[in-house]
Amino acid sequence: MQNSKRSPLHLRSLVPLLSTGGVAVLTLLLIFPGKGQLPGEAAPASPTPVPASVWEAGPDPLTLPAGMPSLGNQHGDVAISSSGEIYVSLMQGLRAGVQVYAADGTYLRNLPDAPTDFHGFVIHKGDDGEFLYGPQLGAGKIVKLSLDGKVVLTIPGESIPKEYWQVNPKNQQAALRLTGCTVAPNGDIFVTDGYASDYVHRFNAKGEYLASFGGKAAPYNFKTLHKIAIDNRFDPPRLVGTDRANNRVVHLSLEGEVIGEVATDLLMPAAAVVQGDFLAVGEIKGRVTIFDKENKVVARLGENPNPAEVGTNKIEPAQWRNGIVNAPHGVAFSPQGDLYVSEYSAHGRVLRFKRGSGGVALN
């Protein structure tokens, strides 16, 4: 396989960045010669430009229904259906669970059977239709929901062999803390136990357990494998995982082989999504980075330079700034290529970076 750096890896740090500051539309990045080279590696003869891309920061896109002062306590995700409807998961609030908004941001409905601990879910369109898939953080199980909120499949946590559960050394209780989910083109479901064992568990489309891989030991060495996504830019498709406490994003084969690191020295990457040639990574310490297929950075969005405002869910709405993120926890592309970012926030917040011109190929 190609276009990922093989593990074990000694990556040079990604390049110094030139930022326009404020509510920058994006950062046009250059790779400077001689920075962070491996011993004996020749420096490029001249700076190599990274292709420019444009995502424009705009006002927060959702219009809350009357009588609802905030989205609600948010520790979940955002996903966009093929019709452009926006699905947001909330733990607490007047409309906890999964709220649905039209493409123009108008509130439409809540899903009737959606759980309130839907931590990291995706929308996948397969041969049997379009559905939400995701783990319940507290309940330790995986559910598949129709777009109108009916549960059509439940995978109990007990389907996962106990040898892959994390045992609390104090009380010897075994537990799952499932945090992220993705679905392969053939319908196989992958779930990561990012707050416990750091294993990835694979099921077929019927919900039957197939395999587990990953964990905290070599060659994986994961520390909070928070969320995962299918990277269908490659043939065969592969998994991309946000190894949050290691500040890196990794590529794995669907069988669990370590392919390599996409990037290191990130700001606690928490979520990933792929569309066209681009991978967007939400970093919970206040930034969104977009990579191309060669793992080059093409844009930095919403970067927050204030360390007191990042990685926390305590920031009050009065402190929010247009186009500046605080704690990205979920990312999703719309069919048009707009990037939506859901935050880790006690009040709940979704931002949008609208795709403009600039030669961005998404199909």
**Mean pLDDT throughout 221-242?**
98
CATH, domain range 30-355: 2.120.10.30
**Mean pLDDT throughout 188-196?**
98
Q: What is the pTM of this model?
A: 0.85
Domain edges within the chain: 30-355
Contact 254, 315 (CB under 8 A): no
Per-residue pLDDT reduced to its tens digit, 38-62: 233 333 333 333 344 589 998 999 9
Strands of 151-155's sheet, edge to edge?
A: 122-126, 129-136, 141-146, 151-155
Q: Residues near 174 by Cβ (< 8 Å), separated by ≥ 6?
A: 162, 165, 166, 167, 168
> Which of 280, 243, 273 shows the shortest CA–CA distance to 260?
243
Q: Give me 121's structure tokens.
A: 């879910």
**Mean pLDDT throughout 13-28?**
36
What CA–CA distance (Å, rounded) separates 215 from 225? 9
Residue 122, number of CB atoms within 10 A of its CB: 23
* pLDDT for position 246: 98
Q: Is a pLDDT exceeding 80 seen at residue 8?
A: no
Q: How confident is the model at residue 170 (pLDDT cuts 50, 70, 90)?
A: confident
* pLDDT for position 4: 57
What CA–CA distance (Å, rounded) separates 246 from 91? 26
* pLDDT for position 54: 83
* pLDDT for position 168: 85
What CA–CA distance (Å, rounded) separates 222 from 198? 6
Per-residue pLDDT reduced to its tens digit, 69-116: 999 999 999 999 999 999 999 999 999 999 999 999 999 999 999 999
Residue 235, number of CB atoms within 10 A of its CB: 7
Contact 297, 291 (CB under 8 A): yes
Q: How confident is the model at residue 204 (pLDDT cuts 50, 70, 90)?
A: very high
Residue type, 99: Q
Phi-psi region of 348 (alpha: psi -120 to 50; beta: other; left: phi over 0): left
